[in-house]
């Protein structure tokens, strides 16, 4: 890989920019703020209130766990304001490739050259998002799960990422209470999500075929794996629209059967039943 112009940015005086204040964006923001990192959350006008409320509600408790002093959360609707001085930009918008391609192109234009641009995508590879970008040496996947309960953090190259970025990101993520993991080769779904996607798909098939219901599946799952939560509850928590978008990526890229995806769309997403976000979920 050719040498890159990337150098370590100043993380003490510059903020992190989180683009998207949905279920994941607000949780990611809360974790970094709780560890003392200033965050600028960029969200559409009128849609950041829930994210701010979540951060304010949980940051003190999380900071106490880490023995840190919470930093400041700032909000904006202006992408330029959010990223112009950021040391890291976290893309946390819906799992739709064209949206991410367009957003990363805008961020790449205005973010400082040493700013790391990390996509939180759980299924799309950052290498698919660099169609319109130029400074690809600082673009990568930086995927979070559902903090603060689940703190694994996976990083993966876009194919051009400066290798020095990975130990840097992993060190900073550990400071923020995450458990960093390096996905060492290009992969649709990174590490755990590849395994989790197969579990979700089979659960949806069991329900689609009328074999069993969500409550029974979750009860058996918790018993077998000594887990606190079952797969249906976890899907409801993330949002069934997000589950559908992720499954659509796997189905298209791996040539998988579409039965589970279509059933979820027809019976839940199209009806506005998205789990914890809105309406009913797999658990009713």
Question: Domain with 108 in it: what CATH number?
Answer: 3.40.50.720
* Model pLDDT, residue 95: 87
Residue 45 has pLDDT above 80, yes or no: no
Give one DSSP letter per residue of 256-282, joined into a string.
Answer: ---HHHHHHHHHTGGGT--BTTBS--T
pLDDT at 1: 58
Residue 206 phi, psi dihedral angles, 5° rounding? -60, -40
Residues 152-197 pLDDT 10s? 999 999 999 999 999 999 999 999 999 999 999 989 989 999 999 9
Question: Quick one: average pLDDT of 191-215?
Answer: 97
Do residue 178 and residue 206 come from a single domain?
no
The 10s digit of each residue's pLDDT in 67-110 is 999 999 999 999 999 999 999 999 999 989 999 999 999 999 99
The residue assigned the tokens 């918008």 is: 93
Are both 225 and 168 inside the same structural domain? no
3 has pLDDT over 80: no
- Residue 100 in any domain: the answer is yes
In terms of residue numbers, what domain contains 94?
16-183
Q: Which of 183, 204, 233 finishes a domain?
A: 183
Same domain, 167 and 242: no
Q: What is the pTM of this model?
A: 0.87
In a domain, 34, yes or no: yes
| Same-domain pairing of 198 and 179 | no
Final residue of a structural domain among 183, 206, 241: 183
Whether the pLDDT of residue 2 is over 70: the answer is no
Using omega within 30 degrees of 0 as the cis cutoff, is the peptide bond preceding 26 cis? no
Statement to judge: residues 94 and 208 lie in one domain: no
- Under 8 Å between Cβ of 68 and 36: yes
What's the pLDDT tens digit per position in 229-258?
A: 999 999 999 999 999 999 999 999 999 999
Domain termination residue (choose one: 149, 183, 217): 183
Do residue 112 and residue 45 come from a single domain?
yes
Same-domain status, 23 and 160: yes
> Percent of the chain at pLDDT above 70?
99
Q: Are residues 201 and 168 in the same domain?
A: no
Specify whether 147 is located in the same domain as 229. Answer: no
Would 8 be classed as within a structural domain? Answer: no
Any idea what the CATH number is for the domain that residue 244 is in? 1.10.1040.10
Mean pLDDT of the region 17-46: 95
Q: What is the pLDDT of residue 213?
A: 98
Q: With respect to residue 125, please indicate whether it lies within any of the assigned structural domains.
A: yes
128 in the same domain as 209: no
Q: Quick one: which H or E segment has residue 16?
A: strand 16-19
Are 112 and 175 in the same domain?
A: yes
Calculate mean pLDDT across residues 143-160: 96
Mean pLDDT of the chain: 95
* Cα–Cα dist 67/257, whole Å: 48
Residue 236 in domain = yes
Q: What is the pLDDT of residue 44?
A: 85
Q: Do 171 and 208 belong together in one domain? A: no
Report the alpha-carbon distance of residue 273 to residue 275 in Å, rounded: 6
What's the structural domain count of the chain?
A: 2
212, part of any domain? yes
- Note whether residue 277 is domain-resident: no
């Amino acid at each position: 890989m050719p040498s890159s112009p990337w150098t370590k940015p100043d993380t003490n005086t510059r903020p992190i920019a989180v683009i998207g204040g949905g279920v994941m964006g607000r949780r990611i923001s809360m974790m970094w703020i709780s560890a003392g990192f200033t965050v600028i959350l960029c969200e559409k006008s009128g849609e950041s209130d829930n994210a701010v409320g979540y951060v304010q509600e949980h940051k003190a408790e999380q900071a106490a766990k880490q023995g840190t002093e919470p930093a400041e959360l700032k909000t904006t609707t202006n992408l330029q304001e959010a990223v112009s001085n950021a040391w890291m930009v976290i893309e946390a918008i819906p799992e739709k490739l064209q949206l991410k391609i367009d957003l990363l192109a805008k961020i790449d234009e205005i973010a400082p050259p040493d700013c790391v641009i990390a996509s939180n995508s759980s299924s799309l590879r950052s290498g698919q998002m660099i169609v319109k970008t130029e400074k690809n040496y600082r673009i990568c996947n930086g995927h979070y799960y559902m903090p603060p309960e689940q703190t694994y953090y996976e990083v993966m190259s876009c194919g051009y990422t400066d290798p020095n970025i990975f130990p840097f990101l992993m060190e900073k993520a550990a400071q923020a209470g995450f458990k960093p993991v390096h996905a060492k080769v290009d992969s649709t779904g990174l590490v755990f999500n590849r395994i989790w996607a197969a579990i979700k798909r089979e659960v949806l098939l069991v329900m689609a075929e009328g074999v069993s219901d969500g409550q029974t599946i979750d009860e058996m799952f918790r018993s077998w794996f000594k887990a606190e939560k079952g797969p249906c509850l976890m899907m409801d928590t993330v949002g069934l629209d997000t589950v559908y978008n992720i499954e659509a990526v796997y189905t298209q890229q791996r040539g998988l059967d579409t039965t589970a995806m279509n059933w979820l769309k027809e019976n839940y997403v199209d009806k506005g039943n998205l789990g914890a976000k809105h309406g009913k979920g797999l658990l009713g």
